[in-house]
Amino acid sequence: MKRFIPLVFVFSVFFSNPTSLVWAHSGHKHDALKVKLPEVVAKVNGHDIKRDLITRELKKAVEQYKKRGMALTGDQEKSAAKSLIEDEIGRTLLVLKAKDSGAKVSEKMLSARLKEVKSKFKSDSIFEHRLADRGMTVDQYRHELEIDMYMDQIIKKEIEPKIKIAEKDSQDYYNKNKKKFESPEKIRASVMLLNFSPSEGKAGEQAVLKKFESILDQVKNGTGFDDMAKKHSQDSLASKGGDLGFFTRKQMLPAFSDRAFKMKVGEISEIFRTGHGFHVLKVTDKKPGGLSPFEAEKAKIEKFLTNKKVSQATRDYIEMLKKQAKIKTYF
């Protein structure tokens, strides 16, 4: 389930797709903050909220704005700190409610969850570097996972069972957002490439063209295009028979897409030249574009609407808990 509180959302975003997050730790140190926070920024039902977590998240936010060329003023930092404190009050209330309701997060459960996260990285070292790049230690992240797990339990117990999505709601969303469910035409094609260096001159160019014409004659006489691509193509896809997979018009270079989308399935293009060399395309399949039917999108729409309702219901639930709690802020 997607996180509904920005502070937690930070962690779910940065660890949702680890394959794209293999960064080395830059060793960058955040600039000093303009605001000064007390050691305890708030107290919730006797539970202290310390400044360390707020400071860490605030520094990351300030750094992100700075990279976009938008340095925060002292007043803006103060406003951001207050928002982070409110987020943490909400998280704390959920965790305390979960514990009061009998929720448990054992060391075994926590270790298993941490292992699951680590498994999405190529190594523990990359995982730790990624954490360090976010200004976190493994212990700090482990603590965040524990909080997540308590929150998930109370949300699943108190909120999710009350959320129902009527088919009419899903149908209405589909009808009002049809552009989101439109897909462009897709082509699947295979390619052969023969390299040519201008330094080889006209004679070299003619030799490559003559070789390509000979290859195409064999294809026209029944030799498989993919077999000839594997044998002769100098493209990185040669081992796959030159298969480019499915692509839209915008995903491919105009030299390829302008030809491919005018061709029929099974048709082979003429020899054409790009900066990479001489090419030939064969269209192997087509998927027409158009509007995906409601039934094909129904499950995804229900999930989206459910998450949206759970997020709002969780915010409302937190507001109810706040009214029942003893909360004192010191910033």
pLDDT for 33 beyond 50: yes
Burial class (CB in 10 A: 0-12, 13-18, 19+), 193: buried
Residue 45: phi, psi to the nearest 5?
Answer: 50, 45
- pLDDT score recorded for residue 90: 97
pLDDT of residue 204: 86
Beta bridge partners of 160: none
How wide is the angle at C-alpha 184 spanned by C-alphas 181 and 185, nearest 5°?
Answer: 135
Neighbours of 78 (CB within 10 A): 18
pLDDT level of residue 9 (50, 70, 90 thresholds): very low
The mean per-residue pLDDT over the stretch 192-213 comes to 88
Do 50 and 41 contact (CB within 8 A), yes or no?
Answer: yes
Residue 29 has what pLDDT?
54
Least confident of 22-36, 77-91, 214-228: 22-36
CA 15 to CA 151: how far, in whole Å? 18
Neighbours of 42 (CB within 10 A): 21
Backbone angles phi, psi at 49, to 5 degrees: -105, 115
pLDDT at 205: 87
Please check the confidence at residue 170 and state whether its pLDDT lies above 60.
yes
With tokens 């909360």, the residue in question is 327
Which residues are registered as beta bridge partners of 204? none
Residue 10 is predicted with a pLDDT of 36
- The pLDDT assigned to 3 comes to 41
Q: Per residue in 243-293, pLDDT tens?
A: 999 999 999 999 999 999 999 999 999 999 998 899 999 999 999 999 999
Q: Does residue 26 register a pLDDT over 50?
A: no
At 124-157, the pLDDT tens digits run: 999 999 998 888 899 999 999 999 999 999 999 9
pLDDT single digits (tens) 78-129: 999 999 999 999 999 999 999 999 999 999 999 999 999 999 999 999 999 9
Q: Given this model, what pLDDT does residue 183 score?
A: 92
Task: Tell me the mean pLDDT in the region 166-177.
Answer: 97
| Whole-Å CA distances, 304 to 126, 173, 290, 307, 308 | 32, 10, 22, 5, 6
Q: Is the pLDDT of residue 50 over 50?
A: yes
- 8 A C-beta contact, residue 2 and residue 311: yes
Where do the DSSP E strands lie in 107-220? 182-183, 186-194
User: What b/e string do you get for 140-170 counting C-beta neighbours within 10 Å, with b at 16 or more?
Assistant: ebeebbbbbbbbbbbbeebbeeeeebeeeeb
pLDDT value of position 20: 34
Distance CA(319)–CA(86), nearest Å, equals 11
The whole-chain average pLDDT of the chain stands at 89
Does the structure show a pLDDT above 80 at 30? no
Give the total residue count for the chain: 331
Confidence of residue 31 (pLDDT cuts 50, 70, 90): low
Residue 12 has pLDDT above 50, yes or no: no
Rounded CA separation 9/144 (Å): 11
Q: Spell out a b/e string for 305-325, using b for 16 or more CB atoms within 10 Å of the CB, else e.
A: bbeebbbebbeebbeebeeeb
CA-based diameter of the chain, in Å?
A: 87
**Cβ–Cβ < 8 Å for 194, 210:** no
The full set of domains in the chain, from first to last, is 6-167+298-329 (1.10.4030.10), 185-288 (3.10.50.40)
Return d(Cα 146, Cα 114) in angstroms, integer. Answer: 10
